[in-house]
Amino acid sequence: MLLSVNNLKKSFGADEVLTGVTFRIDPREKVALVGRNGSGKTTLLKLVTGQMEPDGGSVSLGRGVKVGYLRQEGSVAADRTVLEEAQAAQEESLALRARLTELEAKLAGGHATQDDLDEFALVHEHFLESEGYSTEHDVRVVLNRMGFEESEFAKPTSALSGGERTRLALARLLLEEPDLLILDEPTNHLDLQATEWLERWVIGYHGAVLLVSHDRTFLESTAERVLDMRDGQVTTWPGPFPKYLELKREAEVRLETVAKQQAAQIAKMDEYVRRFMNSQRTAQARGRQKLMNRLIESRVKSPKAESGMRAGFAKSKRSGDLVIECKELSIGFGGADLIKGFDWTVRYGERWGVIGENGAGKSSLLKVVLGLLPAKSGETRLGAGVAAGYFAQDAETLDQSMSPLELMVWECDLNPDVARNLLGRFLIEGDDVFRPIKTLSGGEKNKLSLARLTVLNPNLLVLDEPTNHLDMASREALAVVLKEFTGTLVLVSHDRWLLGETVDHILDIRRSGPVVYPGSYGDYRRRSSTTRTSPTAKPQESPKPAVPVEPAFSPHALSKEIQRMEKVVADIEVQVAGLEGTLEALERQLADLRPTDDVMELTRRHGDLQESIAGSMSAWEEHSSRLEALRAMR
């Protein structure tokens, strides 16, 4: 056991946030904590990590368990460079390397004493055990994966943006490799490439992970078990994530059925009591009344429907066939070019997903197209009759000093009652409509921006990362809204599920040049290893297929990595053999059932074992391929 939470309670004034939370996390488990915005997930994490004291219950960690926690805001030290902050996660290995270098200099100079020789042997042994030869390489690899260029390693952390600080905090946390890693919305500021790398890292991580995320695809790939937070309590569900969704739906249907049956029984008994009390059947009526009261005390409550966004766009006026046209467009700042010589045409009714690396120019392209930024060269224009609605990242176009109600009344020219009704449909209710926008949460600001767009009723919808800070239910509601939108859509997003649901064209903004693909996101990903072409593409828009390249190793580090991979492959083979033996025994039991056997449970275990074997074989193939590549390098 790494973590045990028992009957945890927390209130803020009269507001009970946690009313009795109980769960545990065991070594190597990958557990998702899900729930609506405001359900208490972040409060629970702060209690688990000791940042808050509970009003009741307990939090227990296993002996010597090291916990790493990534907050949503991602704090980093202000007096370091990017590289120094990442290296701080591995100070011990770097200190060993420095001492080893000093001792090697003494040995080379012929001035070493016997004590120096003994210390060298001891330090060298510790250095090998901590895999110190790969420390600096690992730091740089993780920073690269988190979107930092080599040229940014010397950048002061005080000069980083909020998103960069979060990515750096995540990089340092991954390098620390704690026994229990707690990640609160880790993908919010990551591009697709970094998200997919983190996804693979979490799957293969040797420790346990407690993951809070609204990224459905990320959870589907990583979560082995799900903690569902609702009404101040946590319900534990088996994974993977799609199985949790299915089981939860089935459980809610059963509860609804039982609740209706009990309500019908209570109504029938109540009618009998009312009819025959104080009559010749008074004794029977009193008996029914006792039964009815017991049933009322133990009755099952119907699952309470959680309110969701009830949004939508009215049918907009049709624009001309040509909506956006870019010719020889170049975008950049100073002497740096982000996009160069780009041609792009968007026609009415098309639904474009814009993806790519952070810093490659996605947001800048949108702003240039909408006339909010100047282009370095080339031209861009909107077609005839185009009315554009723009959703900016982090609500940067909202007047932070206004309240939501003031914004809707003064900027959108709405009657106050109409404005409050519209805000309520976007879950901005009660006194929240009077609060300054700067005090709203990130999710509330995003919902306010979407509410304003529905009033403007554009026929071109340009959205820049609209799902940041939105919970899963709100993302699903947004997907419905976008699918029903009748105009033209340009969507910048790293939410793979949303892209798969809503777009039919892809624009991949890469540092090597944009790639245009006339098809769905799913098709684009499936063909991502092949050359892409487009009628509007420049030669730079058809890059060669991406081929995974092993990083450079020193001879010693290469030998160490080969030994590690050989052990991983051997361990997987032992694991598969054990699973297959268990499966064979279970199949024998299914073939010769006893009257006391639980057939449903045995069948479920059989399916789980088959899934485990398939997953282990997939991992064996992947690691075996990498092992062969490493041996070839030697």
pLDDT digits (tens, 9 = 90+) for 523-581: 888 876 444 334 344 433 333 333 344 445 566 667 777 887 788 788 778 888 888 88
CA dist 456 and 451 (Å) reads 9
Q: What mean pLDDT is predicted for residues 171-196?
A: 85
**Residue 115: CB atoms within 10 Å:** 8
Give bridge partners of residue 34 from the DSSP assignment: 228
Q: Is the pLDDT of residue 476 over 70?
A: yes
Residue 201 is encoded by which pair of tokens?
A: 């890292």
- Asked if 464 contacts 397 with a C-beta cutoff of 8 angstroms, the reply is no
Output the pLDDT for position 429. Answer: 86
Cα–Cα dist 509/503, whole Å = 16
Q: What size, in residues, is the chain?
A: 634
Tokens describing residue 377: 């060269």
d(C-alpha 23, C-alpha 540), whole Å: 52
Higher pLDDT residue, 328 or 314? Answer: 328
Write down the pLDDT at residue 382: 94
- Rounded Cα distance between 224 and 313, Å, is 38
pLDDT computed for residue 351 by the predictor? 93
CB 69 within 8 A of CB 33: no
Note the pTM of the prediction, 2 decimals: 0.68
Give the pLDDT of residue 386.
Answer: 93
The dihedral built from the CA positions of residue 424, 426, 432 and 434, taken in this order, carries a sign that is: negative
Side chain identity at residue 347, one-letter code: R
Using DSSP's 3-state secondary structure scheme, residue 239 falls into: coil
As a whole number of angstroms, the distance between CA 609 and CA 627 comes to 26
The candidate with the shortest Cα–Cα distance to 179, out of 138, 209, 139, 224, is: 209
Average pLDDT, the chain: 82
- Residue 98: pLDDT band by 50, 70, 90 thresholds? low
Read off the pLDDT of each residue in 472-498 and give the average, rounded to a whole number.
91
Identify the CA nearest to 420 among candidates 448, 443, 457, 392: 448
Please check the confidence at residue 285 and state whether its pLDDT lies above 80: yes
Using the CB atoms, write b or e for 559-584: b if 16+ within 10 Å: ebbbeebeebbeebeeebeebeeebe
Locate 130 and state its tokens.
């901590």
Q: Which residues contact 355 (CB under 8 A, 6 or more apart)?
A: 191, 192, 362, 492, 493, 494, 499, 506, 507, 508, 509, 521
Spatial neighbors of 144 by CB under 8 A, at least 6 apart, are 150
Lowest mean pLDDT among 18-32, 441-455, 608-622: 608-622
What 3-state DSSP class applies to 415? Answer: coil
Q: Rounded to 10 degrees, what is the CA torsion of 413, 417, 420, 425?
A: -100
pLDDT exceeding 70 applies to what percent of the chain? 86
Evaluate whether 386 touches 536 at the Cβ level (below 8 Å): no
φ, ψ of residue 548 to 5 degrees: the values are: -60, 130
Give which of 145, 185, 197, 95 is closest to 442, Cα–Cα: 185
CB 82 within 8 A of CB 152: yes
* Per-residue pLDDT, 7: 93
- What residue type is assigned to position 125 of the chain? E
Spatial CB neighbours of 30, under 8 Å, sequence gap ≥ 6 = 202, 203, 205, 208, 209, 211, 222, 223, 224, 225
What average pLDDT does range 115-129 have in this prediction? 63
Amino acid in position 516:
V
The per-residue pLDDT for 72 is 62
pLDDT of residue 557: 67
pLDDT at position 548: 40
Report the DSSP beta bridge partners of residue 361. none
Largest Cα separation within the chain, whole Å, is 114
Instruction: Say if CB 246 and CB 30 are below 8 A apart.
Output: no
* C-alpha distances out from residue 148 to 145, 394, 552, Å: 7, 21, 19
The pLDDT of 364-378, averaged and rounded, is 92
Please tell me the number of Cα atoms within 13 Å of 498 on its side-chain side. Answer: 33
Taking the alpha carbons at both ends of the chain, their separation in whole angstroms is 40
In the three-class reduction of DSSP (H, G, I as helix; E, B as strand; rest coil), residue 302 is classed as coil
State the average pLDDT over residues 111-125.
Answer: 68
Q: What is the pLDDT of residue 261?
A: 86
Q: What is the pLDDT of residue 591?
A: 74
Residues pairing with 506 in the sheet: 353, 517
Q: Give just the sign of the alpha carbon dihedral 14, 45, 35, 491.
A: positive
pLDDT at position 531 is 41
Neighbours of 265 (CB within 10 A): 14
Q: Where are the beta strands (DSSP E) in 444-487?
A: 460-464
Q: Are strands 505-509 and 351-356 parallel, antiparallel or unpaired?
A: parallel
Of 199, 217, 187, 198, residue with least CA distance to 476? 217
Asked if pLDDT for residue 57 goes beyond 90, the answer is: yes
Q: Residue 219: pLDDT above 80?
A: yes
pLDDT computed for residue 135 by the predictor? 44
Number of Cα atoms under 13 Å in the Cβ half of residue 48: 32
Query: Rounded distance, CA 209 to CA 26, Å?
Result: 10
Rg (CA), the chain: 29
pLDDT in the model for residue 464: 92
- Among 328, 336, 387, 339, smallest CA distance to 363 is for 339
Give CA–CA dist 512/617, Å, rounded: 36
Q: What percent of the chain has pLDDT over 90?
A: 23
* Torsions phi, psi for 51 (to 5 deg): -80, -15
- Torsion 609-615-621-624 (CA) sign: negative
Dihedral sign, Cα of residue 411, residue 416, residue 420, residue 425: negative
For the cut 80, the answer to whether the pLDDT of residue 451 exceeds it is: yes
- Beta-strand pair 233-238/225-230: antiparallel
CA gap 354, 188 in Å, rounded: 16
CA distances from 143 to 136, 147, 153, 164, 188 (A): 11, 7, 8, 11, 17
